[in-house]
Amino acid sequence: RLLMGISLYNQSPEAALQKILAIENDPIVGYVLFSYDQFLQDPDLQRKYLQFLPTVEAEK
């Protein structure tokens, strides 16, 4: 399986979401988000992503 890396720290949430949605239905391609600590530093950012991508779970 191929994983596409999508950065959160150098682009807007909208730009990252566009990339995620573009590959979401492709069975071969998945994605990883980095830097994940952006969610820890900015809870509003985490909520924004989770609003549009309910399958993404917050770190517990």
**pLDDT tens profile 19-33:** 888 887 788 888 888
User: Residue 45 in contact with residue 13, Cβ under 8 Å?
Assistant: yes
Single-letter residue type at 54? P
pTM of this structure: 0.61
DSSP secondary-structure letter at 29? E
pLDDT band with cut points at 50, 70 and 90 for residue 60 = very low
Taking the domains of the chain in order of start, what are their residue ranges?
2-52
User: Residue 23 in contact with residue 4, Cβ under 8 Å?
Assistant: yes
pLDDT band with cut points at 50, 70 and 90 for residue 51 = confident
